[in-house]
Amino acid sequence: MCGIVGYVGAKPAEGVVIEGLRRLEYRGYDSAGIALVDAGSIVSDKRAGKLANLEKAIAESPLPPVTTGIGHTRWATHGPPTDRNAHPHVGRARRVALVHNGIIENFAALRGRLESAGVEMASDTDTEVAAHLLEEQLETGVDLTVAMQNVCRGLEGAFTLVAVDSQDPDRVVAARRNSPLVVGIGEGENFLGSDVAAFIEHTREAMELDQDQVVTITREGVAVSGFDGTPAEGRRYHVDWDLSAAEKDGHDWFMRKEIFEQPRAVADSLLGRRGTDGLLQLDEMRLSDQDLRDVDKIIIIAAGTSFYAGMVAKYAIEHWCRIPVEVELASEFRYRDPILTSDTLVVAISQSGETADTLQAIRHAREQRSKVLSICNTNGSTIPRESDGVIYTHAGPEIGVASTKGFLTQLVACYLLALYLAQVKGTRFGDEISQVMDQLERMPAHVQSVLDKAEEVYSLARDHVGSRSVLFLGRHAGYPVALEGALKLKEIAYLHAEGFAAGELKHGPIALVEEGLPILCVVPPRGRDQLHDKMISGIQEVRARGARTLCLAEEGDTTIEPYADVLITLPQVPVLLQPLVAVVPLQLFACELATQLGHDVDQPRNLAKSVTVE
């Protein structure tokens, strides 16, 4: 998500920090800011919008030529993208300036304590809480490093914090828990950054930190410790990438980088969703429990990849909540005279929050007095603003045009919505909802286990460089996965690809099957409604006609082995949650095949990241 830069050295910090932020612009952001330490005081400026707005403000009111500073480009989570919510944030006495990436889950309780003690908050963010807590610690006489250790032990969630103390001008202190941070090691100067792109122009010597560690940089060196204060060591390495590769974390494409970011993205999308009482909480819901209890029909509207996430949502909502769900293409919705009432909930799924046909569809729904809830990745965008409630996916910026982590986090948001509705309507007991949430919270590790087998999928893709057509089969929640796998291949490999519900094969599509045709088969987990056995029957049908069956099936499923020419194993997960792991090999397959074909994976022909025309 956000871009972070920290610097201590001999150069003017302003130039180093602004340059670093510019090199992190690819990460996406909606505001930017800088803080410098000058003769016992914090000097800062921050502006909503692009980095150019901050640079213009600095040009009009120059900052002092000091040599310690931090900077930030923000991707809004708590609070809209405004000047007051931009980072850095300062403590009440302006002794501390702090920037932050991630989400502090228990910020509401911490904010309440601070406000009861008379602290007036200057922003809507969770970040500001950490600045005040750091300042409290410094007032006890400890230094910034110890203060950071003490504060972090009381924080919940995933975060990177970077801070400076006006009374200690020669150090920058940072902390990391499940959020990106890397140290740049120079001569007489040291750096911090969200990734190495922030400082690659100055040094190629870097240090990686473990979880729950604090790092202190000065001109003279770098010191690492645990949150408990015990000394630790970072892992040093040499960066031999150029700037373009550094932005991609060493990957050849942003899309491939974003595929590998999915464990973290799924974890971020789950942060803060369960309260201390164990109940689900969706902070931006804005629809009352009674509003939701009155809902008697749900219509999901979306386009492209988001439409397939909506199809998965239909399975989950109907199963857990017993509410009828329709899934509509946004571009068709208002032209078919849909039946809408005040008890209809329209769910709009859009990564950018600016998708034109989805926006027009929700405006039509609101004219018909229906309630609108949006699922979106971009805080402050138009669709969330015009909705009655929103679930933000917290995927962070996605640069590749073909969505990957955007899709997985939309799936998580759909599951959260389904479980929240079940909680409000009482269609599932609390322990049942908690069990599913426990399963969801294990998903980042499951996704990582699939990514660990990426080379198997790459080899499979290289074997099919000569294929001109690929089919995808699935059943139940695997059917939308098949559609999404086919879409990825169309988008970036420019191949004919179709996804089908496996039971529909005999109603026409089986005519396409010929000798050697590759068919990717998403096999449901065993043990529910004969789905697994029915899928095997479909695989036998196409294999008997010469197709090459490439099967994705859960670990331990030996019954599929006689019918799979190639078998890629998936973690054992419930059938409704299988899309989170089953789609990942299909993303890898498309990415590698497109690479082998020589295509521009990040910017495929004729496509745009956000479709802002109908």
Decide if 506 is catalytic.
no
Identified catalytic residue from 11, 425, 453, 609: 609
Question: What is the C-alpha to C-alpha distance for residues 436 and 470, in angstroms, rounded to an integer?
Answer: 34
Q: Where are any strands of DSSP class E within 446-560?
A: 469-474, 496-501, 518-522, 548-554
Whether the CA torsion 588, 594, 597, 602 is positive or negative: it is: negative
> Which strands make up the sheet holding 205-208, listed edge to edge?
41-48, 31-38, 68-74, 3-8, 190-193, 182-185, 205-208, 235-238
Decide if 376 is catalytic.
no
Asked if 140 and 116 touch (Cβ cutoff 8 Å), the reply is no
Name 70's bridge partners: 6, 35
Of 542, 38, 533, the C-alpha closest to 553 is 533
Question: What is the C-alpha to C-alpha distance for residues 244 and 602, in angstroms, rounded to an integer?
Answer: 13
Of 180, 140, 138, 146, the C-alpha closest to 161 is 180
For the chain, state the CA radius of gyration: 25
- Residue ranges of alpha helices (H) inside 24-92 are 51-60
Tokens of 435: 């069990």
Of 354, 260, 344, the C-alpha closest to 306 is 354
Identified catalytic residue from 2, 521, 551, 591: 2
Asked if 280 and 419 touch (Cβ cutoff 8 Å), the reply is yes
Active site residues: 2, 609
